[in-house]
Structure 1
Amino acid sequence: MSGSTKRIGSALSKLAASKEGIGGRAGGVFAPYVTYGVNQLRWMNDALTGATTLASVASEVDDPDMQLAILRLSGSRLQSAMLGSILLAAWLDFLNLADVILRQCPFCSKETLLADLDRLQKMLKPAMTALSSLKPGQVEAAATDLPALIGQLTGEFNSTCEAVRVAMKRGEQAMLLAQIVEAGTMVLTMKMSLPRLPPTASTPLGVGLVVGADGVVIGTQIVVSAEWVEMMRRLVQAGVISLPVVSAAVRIRAGQVMMAQSHDELPQGVRDALGDGPEARGMRVTGRAGAGMAEPPEHHVLPREFREWFEKRGFTGDMSIDQFCVKMEQASHEAIHGGGDWRQGRKWPGEWNQMIMKALRDAETEAGRMLTRSEILETVAYHMRRYNLPMEFTPWRGK
């Protein structure tokens, strides 16, 4: 993923810096479309940085349940960046096409090209917005629709290529007429750089698939190999990455023909490898929210009232205490805080906030120093088991 975003970033920089084409109009109407790509790349890089941070912290924790819980927090960032890079690669293809048209096709309408880019950006925007939210539900919904969207964009890309070829042909005829009328006047000829395709063929959009000597299919963003599939299978089983996201990536990367298939029609070998059985396709437990009821309360296992204490020990940014919440039923949440009246609940030594802070402070006193993040999480994991709290974290909604 890091290599992919670097390549896309480099290509966007070249488009913005070039003196001709889109770059030559940096202060004009085409510049915002390059800027849009740069802005999307920024949140993808931030998501990858956050996922890397969480994965690194997970590797420092000895408790296996806590390690997996932290790793799951990185999943939404990773899969958002993975799907986002597929869309951004498609957008980059359109920008490159527009750049070629502006430089080499004076017969093409600039107004039409501008309108096309605006329309295509609006097609991308809902999916990009959902992915940039990093919310698992929105990411999965976007993943479900992504193969169809890529297929639609591919059709748009090929239609634009055909329109350009027609314009170039008419331009060549006009230039030939000018040469005849002017009796040998030199006229500059244009050479189209876009590949000419058979009527039934389509240009793979944002994919760039290459089959290596060992039969591995290498894409612009991901490598679909036996090792990659095995890694995805393990991450799906662990709940780090969802099956719909992996399915969308494989369907797009494994070839355009897959995009015409229904969402459950992955090749049998891929389904077997990913474990796409009845259990994987079954409905997820969504709780009260999935039933259309109010969202259950989110319990901060690292108490909010001691936010500053935790920040001094490294819980900032992607490791903020707001990342470490667990969803609980209202009654259970009140019980863990000593009842409905939180002021009275604070008087109970077993109340979660009082108990966990006493345990952490006692541990620091015994160590004679500040606890590290991994040591704090180890202590929290122990007490979460005591209180039968699920080791499944969800980011705080901020309500």
Structure 2
Amino acid sequence: MGLSSSERATRQSALAAQLAFRRALLDVSDSTRRLSGEFSRLQAPGRGLGGGHSVFLRYVDYGARQLRWMEVQLATATRLTTAASQVEDPDMQLALLRLAGPRLEATLLGSLLLSVWLDLLHLADAVCTQHFYSVERMFADLGRWQQRLEPAMTALSSLEPGQVEAAARDVPVLVGHLSSEFTATLQSARKGAESVAKVLVLKEALEALSLLSALKFSLPSVPPSAPALLGVGLVVGGDGVMVGTRLVVSAEWVEMMRHLVRAGVLSFPVVSAAVRIQAGQVMLAQAHGELPRGVREALGDGPEVRGMRVTGRAGAGMNDPPRHHVLPKEFRAWFEKRGFTGELDIDQFCVEMERANHEAIHGGGNWKLGRQWPGEWNRMIMEALHEAEVTAGRMLTRNEVLDIVAGRMKRYGVPMEFTRWRGP
């Protein structure tokens, strides 16, 4: 009631982004739960990988360790999403979702890579259990594949937006390489099956293990002798994004990603990587090219979205701009008493500003003199918060603090794009 059309649109957009983010979290959480169950099975004594070959346990443990950081980040992203739903200001809601965005991006791509790793472990389990492949050779293969996987996993677990986006650009190529390795190993195992009966046993073993949870999306590699296939690309159909006649992702997934990309919660390179992986070898071979225009538009990519990602002076290779604590760090203890701890401590609420703007809101280059100005940021924000507590007759909640801060940020023209503090 009483809202203008633009205000209603802003609130509706924030609500749509929240709902989409929750659905995306559930999707990735379902994947990690499945992965957890499979790793537990492979770790089972006497019944695990390769019929209980302890030499392979290090590779199963590696997958389980990667899964743990993903589960932690999913839990953190869930708490940030809950916090976003509890504040009134829609811009602050989106700002909190953007804090959670890199965590979802990292776990989305990480779970896809971990699914590929699980497929490789399943393959090792099948061929070694049936003695179709040398245990020593498989051990070496897994070590080599892990080395290929490690840099991407390290970049994703860092949660640094720049590293996550860089990894996103490389992940489709990595999945394509591992898919080719999978195929080559499977062909070697089939050659090791000397009779038709053994081939059938191998086939049944692979099917029983429900292989290809991730690699099942891989189309056959495009042969050089078939140039007609090189034109195959993604198109948008009524049921979602298609490659040829195969459904890659559903219409619901497309709509969910559209909201999150356009709201600046997820980056388009990450979403693009997920589509390429599920589209298979045809698109993996074009990993550094662009998705077809219709697909990019369907997923929310556009000039205004790309413009949101401009990094200014720092993006041009110059020194990083100052990071301004929106919640004054000299009052850290005051904010901690009001719930700003953990993933919502005050170091999460920093914004990058040009040095001149940063000095301006603090009253000039000399902060001691600046504090004498009533409009100086730290002085102004703390006076507003203390006054609100006096009026309420109680301690403010974290969400009430955020709503007050959001209003002052708009008044001062401070961008509501939070980033973590990187200082000492």
- Shift in Å at residue 113 of structure 1? 1.1
Confirm or deny: 8 A CA contact 1:30 1:114 kept in the other structure: yes
Residue 234 of structure 2: aligned partner: none
- On the 8 A contact 1:204/1:256 being kept in 2, the answer is no
How far apart are the structure 1 equivalents of 2:411 and 2:303?
34
TM-score (norm 1): 0.84
Secondary structure, counterpart of 1:236 in structure 2: helix
Partner residue, 1:315: 340
Aligned 1:323-362 pairs, distance under 5 A: 323-362=348-387
In the alignment, does 2:312 pair up with 1:304? no
1:233 to partner: Cα distance: 1.1
Task: Write the deviation string for residues 280-314 of structure 1: whole angstroms up to 9, x where unpaired.
Answer: 56794112221111111100101112222212211
1:91 to 117, 123, 146: 117
CA RMSD in angstroms, aligned pairs only: 3.0
Q: CA deviation at 1:101?
A: 2.7
Contact 2:99/2:419 (<8 A) preserved: yes
Letter in 2 for 1:157: F
CA contact (8 A) 1:55 1:74 kept: yes
Structure 1 residues 357 and 278: alpha-carbon distance in aligned structure 2, compared to 1, 3 A threshold: closer
Q: Give the corresponding residue for 2:103.
A: 77
The equivalent position to 1:68 in structure 2, one of 86, 89, 94, is 94
1 CA distance for matches of 2:214 and 2:372?
60
**1-side partners of 2:126 and 2:212: how far apart?**
18
Deviation, 1:332, is 2.0
Aligned residue in 2 for 1:156: 181
Show structure 1 runs of 5+ residues with no match: 177-187, 198-202
SS where residue 260 of structure 2 aligns?
A: helix
1:208 CA drift (Å): 4.5
Is 1:6 aligned to 2:16, yes or no?
A: no
Kept in 1: contact 2:42–2:49 (CA 8 A) = yes
Task: Tell me: CA distance 1:207–1:51, structure 2 relative to 1, closer, same or farther (3 Å).
Answer: farther
Tell me the alpha carbon deviations over residues 107-155 of structure 1, each in whole angstroms, 9 at most, x when there is no partner. Answer: 5322211111111011011111111111111111111111111111100
Is 1:104–2:112 an aligned residue pair?
no
> What CA distance in whole angstroms lies between the structure 2 residues aligned with 1:268 and 1:338?
47
Cα displacement (A) at 1:241: 0.8
Q: 2:299 aligns with which of 253, 274, 286?
A: 274
Kindly tell me: are residues 196 and 303 of structure 1, through their superposed partners in 2, closer, same or farther at Cα, counting changes over 3 Å? closer
1:1-399 aligned at under 5 Å gives the runs 1-22=28-49, 25=52, 28-105=54-131, 108-169=133-194, 191-193=201-203, 206-208=214-216, 224-280=249-305, 284-399=309-424
TM-score (norm 2): 0.80
Cα 1:252–1:196 shift into 2, 3 Å: same
The one-letter code sitting in structure 1 at the alignment partner of 2:279 is: A
Q: Hey, what's the Cα distance between the residues in 1 that align with 2:248 and 2:78?
A: 19
Distance 1:119 1:276 in 2: 36
Deviates more, 1:129-138 or 1:160-169: 160-169
Measured in 2, the distance between the counterparts of 1:340 and 1:269 equals 49
> Contact (CA 8 Å) 1:217, 1:254: kept in 2 or not?
no
Q: SS at the partner of 1:192? A: helix
Say whether the 8 Å CA contact 1:57–1:374 is kept in structure 2.
yes
Distance change >3 Å, CA 21–CA 67, structure 1 → 2: closer
Q: Secondary structure at the match of 1:326?
A: strand
> How far did 1:270 drift?
2.1
On the 8 A contact 1:130/1:139 being kept in 2, the answer is yes
Residues 294 and 93 of structure 1: CA distance in aligned 2, closer, same or farther (over 3 Å): same
Counterpart Cα distance in 1 of 2:284 and 2:204: 24
Measure, in 2, the Cα distance between the counterparts of 1:279 and 1:66. Answer: 20
Contact 1:324 1:395 in 2 (8 A): yes
- Distance in 1 separating the partners of 2:50 and 2:193: 22
What is the CA–CA distance in structure 2 between the aligned matches of 1:363 and 1:303, rounded to whole Å?
17
Distance change (3 Å), C-alpha of 1:325 and 1:277: closer
Residues 288 and 269 (structure 1 numbering): CA distance in 2 closer, same or farther, change over 3 Å?
closer
Aligned letter for 1:37?
A: G
8 Å Cα contact 1:154/1:205 also seen in 2: no
Sequence identity (%): 60
Q: Distance in 1 between matches of 2:200 and 2:294?
A: 47
* Aligned-pair CA distance for 1:335: 2.6
Residue identity in the other structure for 1:73: L
Return the alpha-carbon distance in structure 2 between the equivalents of residues 240 and 142 of structure 1.
17
- Label 1:338 to 1:271 Cα distance change in 2 as closer, same or farther (>3 A): closer
Supply the distance in 2 between the matched residues of 1:321 and 1:261 (Cα, whole angstroms).
42
Higher-Rg structure is 1
Measured in 2, the distance between the counterparts of 1:216 and 1:340 equals 54
**Which amino acid is the alignment partner of residue 389 of structure 1?**
V
Q: Out of 48-57 and 154-163, give the one that drifted further.
A: 48-57
**Distance across 2 between alignment mates of 1:196 and 1:341:** 69
Q: CA deviation at 1:164?
A: 1.4
Aligned residue-pair number? 371
Cα distance between partner residues in 1 of 2:161 and 2:199:
52
Q: Structure 2: any 5+ residue segments left out of the alignment?
A: 1-27, 219-237
